[in-house]
Structure 1
Amino acid sequence: MRARIHRGTQEIGGTVVELESERQRLLLDCGLPLDAVPDAPVVLPQVAGLATPDSSLLGVALSHGHRDHWGLLGHAAESPPVFMGAGTERILAAASFFIRDVPALKAAAHLQDGRPITIGPFTIIPHLVDHSAFDAYAFTVEASGRRLFYSGDLRSHGRKGALFERLVTRPPQGIDVMLMEGSCLGRLDEDARFPTETEIEAALTDVIRRTPGMVLVAASAQNIDRVVSIFRATKRNGRTLVVDLYAAEMLHATGRDSIPQTSWPEVALFTPWHQRVKVKKAERFDLIERHKADRLFPENLTAHPERYVVLFRASLLDDLVKARCLRGAHAVWSQWAGYLKDEKTATLLAALKSHGVGFEVLHTSGHASIPDLKRLAAAISPRALVPIHTFEADRFPSLFENVVVRHDGEWWEV
């Protein structure tokens, strides 16, 4: 088995890994770079079968549903088979109605935790992992008598931290090469840790308790762990969590009754004007119909803003301003702080400030800390550890054993 990393040896995001065995090939992820400019031309990696037909490309195994791992598939001229979790498929399909460049990918087969799947000469064993994306996997790939472990994106401090402990306690054996993410290098001290999701929940609980008006929490609706934290903090304060139609559909797409849904008495739907227009034009009234159990309207928000915590995004602001419900409100930024540098986000923050809305940041990473990466590398003990999904590959040899630094586009034997 041969391998090459098309993107990821010197950057976070845009991950594309190509494997070859018996003259057949498989991709692990096919992501769009994080610095990709919207509507700019996209350059596909030099992978036969993405721009022109090539039957030797058997498919793409998606580790999870973040754009930097699937985003190039929407730009590929050809459509190779895609292997992904059922939850990932449902979430991407639901998001495709709301977000123009999200493809409604159809799975050739669904990945399931611990269940091997054979694709030509390759056998993939998916390992469900803790990450800020729902239904995320690491992979063990076997072919030609060799074994490769791909970490995907993972952590131990989320709501599914037991999955990380399981991986460390019962790691895959006989791994020749481990591709391990290092997103935290350069962002976190060697012995430091990220806040746990439980700690974020406690901090949110306190913010809600001390806010006299509405609380706006800017978080990704696809970060299901965070939505659960927001819901639990909201419920502890006797308030109602307000979600828009997009967020309601993301929660519905998980297929889990244990995850907050609009059918729950503590969750309510508020459909902003732009979403109502979109539903009407597409005649997708079924979307609102399935979330109508507890629907809110502007007059509800106007009358009692102190009763609500809103899962917030910039497109909601105009509706909230028109509802005159921001007196005494407070906003929490609960996603990657790097987005705060964007011009659009700066405009949003200025608008919130102009309406007297307070602001603070409460977030934790979707990626493992250095101590946890050390535990994972020691447990798997690969013959070679290759850095990926990192800007700091050159630091790996000082932190881990058996490191081999590879370069984008370089073929090498597993």
Structure 2
Amino acid sequence: MNAGDFASTPLPNIDGLSTVSASLLAIVLSHGHRDHWGLVPKVNPAIPLIMGKATESIIRAAADFVPDAVVLNANQYLEHRKPIQIGPFTIVPRLVDHSGFDAYAMEIVSGGKRVFYSGDLRAHGRKRKLFDALISDPPRNIDLMLMEGSSLGRLSDDETFPSEEDLETTFVSRFEQTDGIALVACSAQNIDRVVTIYRAAKRTGRTLIIDAYAAEVLKATGHDSIPQPAPGWSNLAVYIPQRQRVQLKAKGIAALVDDYRGFRIWQEQLAGSAPRSVMLFRGWMMSDLDRANALVGARVFWSQWDGYLAEGQSGAALKSDCDRRGIAFETIHTSGHAGPSDLKRLAAAVAAKRLIPIHTFERLRFPTLFENVSLINDGEWVEIL
């Protein structure tokens, strides 16, 4: 299902989602991207939620900053290869490489039948060793595999996406060519990309400037190996845009900026530091930079899905603003999902008796790429024989 908006999108027709039913034991979230949990606020609140601990923390951290966001409370946490028992079901999570942090594939076993759900995954991120480990030691004797195909249609069958290391190299080159501030428009929740940008900034002698939202998301990962405003991290600064200052005060959480002591950069410092800075950036921050006279020699780098650059989307408005201001605009991005060749490797390694496409607009391509494919419609129940 591709939901248009939250209010008008009905819940799937599954007993227990809106009313109490003993047949629905829990909802398991593979990771924190909204297309995987967006309708959860509509379900019966008595249903237990299961997700990764960092997923819960990041969703909670984002809730103070993102419109229409919610806080989701886990009853139990997913951990890499640690089995969970839910009624007659045993779930074995597998941490995977994905643009969403703390993402899992899952093996589900019950009644002697075995299902493997790929979740969202890739093999070209900073955690690609997880994909390699999955290929070298896949779940065995799988009766049914549910496999994502988000990237199908974006590449030819023999093409591959650039890696995060490839992007780092490109960013280094572009930052060196930028006279003023380098503005990178990417999601703060794409932790791999933030690490890539931080490393490129450091390699070029620049400081990465983040806002309070990004700072809280980075802290919420729970990993001190990830850049964040904490002891031991250099080349990092926190700027609180005017709109965010108002927002924090209105929510009564302005005190959280106290944690950024020693990392703060102020509006009057932006112009002077611009040639030595990279900013994690969103279009509405442009007015702050304009008031600070910090846009001289600036360049904008779009590092998100190019679908957001289509007419009517936020990216299109940003590009138009850059064109009007004479600011160079360039896309530097790679997919958060596996390409066709890596999906082929995964399907061959698991060798499921049946493979069902999910999370794709190109399901009709599956039978030409993979073995034992069954095309199943939304809402159609599948019996595992």
TM-score, length basis structure 2: 0.96
2:175 to 189, 208, 233: 208
Question: Is contact 2:57-2:221 (8 Å) kept?
Answer: yes
Partner of 2:62: 95
Matching residue within 256, 272, 293 for 1:324: 293
Question: Residue 302 of structure 1 aligns with which residue?
Answer: 271
Question: 2:278 is paired with a residue of what secondary structure?
Answer: strand
- Could you say which structure has the higher strand fraction? 1
Instruction: Determine the structure 1 residue equivalent to 2:242.
Output: 273
| 1:12-23 equivalent positions in 2, closer than 5 A | none
Residue 293 of structure 1: SS of its match in structure 2?
coil
Q: Is the 8 A contact 2:82 2:92 kept in 1?
A: yes
Partner of 1:315: 284
Instruction: Kindly report the root-mean-square deviation, in angstroms, between the aligned alpha carbons of the 2 structures.
Output: 1.3
Conserved? CA contact 2:245–2:254, under 8 Å? no
Q: Is the 8 A contact 2:308 2:316 kept in 1?
A: no
User: What is the DSSP-based 3-state SS (H/G/I as helix, E as strand, rest coil) of the residue aligned with 1:206?
Assistant: helix
Query: Percent same amino acid among aligned pairs?
Result: 50
Does residue 167 of the first structure (1) align with residue 121 of the second (2)? no
Question: Which string of whole-angstrom CA distances, capped at 9 and with x for unpartnered residues, describes residues 67-96 of structure 1?
Answer: 110111123354421100000000000011
Residue 360 (1) aligns with residue 330 (2): yes
Q: Number of matched residues?
A: 381
Q: Does 1:334 align with 2:303?
A: yes
Partners of 2:284 and 2:197 in 1: CA distance? 19
AA matched with 1:372:
D
Unaligned residue ranges in structure 1 (runs of 5+)? 1-6, 8-13, 15-32
TM-score, scaled to structure 1: 0.90
Q: Is the 8 A contact 2:94 2:105 kept in 1?
A: yes
Q: Distance in 1 between matches of 2:136 and 2:325?
A: 51
- SS of the residue aligned with 1:148? strand
Give the Cα–Cα distance (whole angstroms) in 2 for the partners of residues 285 and 119 of structure 1: 40
Q: Secondary structure at the match of 1:387?
A: strand
Deviation sequence 1:28-58 (CA, Å, 0-9, x none)? xxxxx3xx24x65222111222222223211
Residue 387 in structure 1 maps to residue 344 in structure 2: no
CA distance in 1, matches of 2:165, 2:304: 16
In structure 2, stretches of 5+ residues that fail to align are none
CA apart distance, 1:356: 2.1
Aligned counterparts of 2:55 and 2:339: Cα–Cα separation in 1: 25
Partner of 2:117: 150
Cα deviation, residue 158, structure 1: 0.2
Is 1:290 aligned to 2:259, yes or no?
yes
Cα displacement string for residues 130-152 of structure 1 (whole angstroms, at most 9, x for unaligned residues): 00000000000011110000001
Q: Tell me what 2:105 maps to.
A: 138
Deviation at residue 352 of structure 1 after TM alignment: 1.8
Query: After TM superposition, where is structure 1 displaced by more than 3 Å over at least 4 residues in a row?
Result: none
- Counterpart position of 2:382: 412
* Corresponding residue number in structure 2 for 1:60: 27
The code of the aligned residue for 1:261 comes to Q
Secondary structure of the residue aligned to 1:127 is strand
Q: Which residue among 190, 211, 219 is the counterpart of 2:157? A: 190
Q: In 2, Cα distance between the equivalents of 1:241 and 1:342?
A: 30
1:374 and 2:344 are equivalent in the alignment: yes
